[in-house]
Amino acid sequence: MPQEPTPRQHTLTRSVAVMNQKGGVGKTTTTVNLAAGVARLGRSTLIVDLDPQAHASLHLGVDAEADGAPTIYDLLLDPEGPIDGAVRDARPNLSIIPAVVDLAAAETELADAPNRHGRLTRVLERLAGRFEFVFIDCPPSLGLLTLNALGASREALAPMQAHFLALQGLGKLFETVRLVGRGVNPRLRISGVVLCMHEETTNLAREVVADLHAFFEGARAEDVPWKSARVYTPPIRRNIKLAESPSFGKTIFEYAPGAPGAQDYAALAETFVREWDAMLARRAGGAGGSAAPEIVVPERADAARAEA
């Protein structure tokens, strides 16, 4: 049941780059439905569509190509430009800055521009306090747009499928995050992976999930951005309703509220909000609030549940 918008100002924002250089792994589906799930829990949420294919915008029924209002393309070219028309109310508690195909040209148009990696950071600075959660839907590459997303986020979240070579693909992604962390955004962390189109019953999926857990556990003592990363629960099961809903411009909660896809994204949104609230509570009660807020290492119970 959607709740009333929360008008309060947020001193901290959970900004999440939903990234994977591979296409078709579930980035857009996760951005839209996780964000919608968080909004339904009463949290003010913004989606930034950073993919020139504009799938996240269309998934919410926003066609910026047709209405001519400013988009993320305009804001990346001029981060000080008019911002209010670009931020659209899409649902209760859920806004979006949409994309258009022109965004593909931004990569070259900004190639020699000053602060070309920090443009989205500036845009989100201008919106500080308005949103508690920001989800950025990245294109399937590690180019300038994704680098802008990583520069502007506190976390990177990687949707993936439990396939052979999945871990290999993650390696490159993690290395990119590490490099961005060393350069423009030292607070950037990898919060974890979301398993999409998941088929829990296959041995392959089980093996990949076990490998992921082992990989993350092995990094707990290291000084790497994925030292606190987790395999989020629940995994998102393969569900045809999730594939159908975008063409109707609807979230899964609107299109098929009783479907497994709606259950999974609702539960994932709860995990996400609970984790954030716990971090805020620790910070409020913690040592003077001087240290950068950390994401805690997840409990092993999560892993047990994922395997159950």
What are the structure tokens assigned to 97, written together? 């800055």
> In the sheet where 14-18 sits, what is the strand order?
88-91, 94-97, 45-49, 133-137, 14-18, 155-160, 189-195, 230-231
Contact residue for ligand ADP among 145, 152, 157, 236 (CB under 6 A):
236
State the binding partner of 197 from Mg ion, ligand ADP, none, CB within 5 to 8 A by kind: ligand ADP
| Residue closer to ligand ADP, measured from CB, 79 or 190 | 190
Residues 6+ apart with CB under 8 A from 277: none
| Residue closer to ligand ADP, measured from CB, 46 or 54 | 54
Buried b (16+ CB within 10 A) or exposed e, 1-16: eeeeeeeeebeebbbb
Q: Is 83 helix (H, G, I), strand (E, B) or coil?
A: coil
- Whether 177 and 150 have beta carbons less than 8 Å apart is answered as yes
State the binding partner of 236 from Mg ion, ligand ADP, none, CB within 5 to 8 A by kind: ligand ADP
| Residue closer to ligand ADP, measured from CB, 130 or 241 | 241
What are the structure tokens assigned to 192, written together? 């974890």
Distance CA 151, CA 292 (A): 16
Examine residue 140 and tell whether it contacts ligand ADP (CB under 6 A).
yes
Contact residue for ligand ADP among 105, 204, 214, 243 (CB under 6 A):
243
What are the structure tokens assigned to 20, written together? 């994977």
Examine residue 205 and tell whether it contacts ligand ADP (CB under 6 A).
no
Choices 39-47, 49-57, 160-168, 282-290; region in contact with Mg ion by CB under 5 A: 49-57
Examine residue 129 and tell whether it contacts ligand ADP (CB under 6 A).
no
Examine residue 143 and tell whether it contacts ligand ADP (CB under 6 A).
no
Contact residue for ligand ADP among 16, 25, 72, 87 (CB under 6 A):
25
- Whether 18 and 157 have beta carbons less than 8 Å apart is answered as yes
Distance CA 188, CA 205 (A): 28
DSSP H or E stretch at residue 150: helix 144-152
Contact residue for ligand ADP among 180, 196, 231, 269 (CB under 6 A):
196
Examine residue 29 and tell whether it contacts ligand ADP (CB under 6 A).
yes
Residue 200: how many CA atoms within 13 Å on its side-chain side?
10
For residue 158, what are the β-bridge partners? 193
Examine residue 161 and tell whether it contacts Mg ion (CB under 5 A).
no
Q: Taking CB under 6 A as the criterion, which residues in 257-276 touch ligand ADP?
A: 261
State the binding partner of 160 from ligand ADP, Mg ion, none, CB within 5 to 8 A by kind: none
Q: How far is the CB of 269 from Mg ion (least distance, A)?
A: 19
Give residues in contact with Mg ion (CB under 5 A). 27-28, 55
Give residues in contact with ligand ADP (CB under 6 A). 23-29, 55, 140, 196-197, 236, 238-239, 242-243, 246, 261
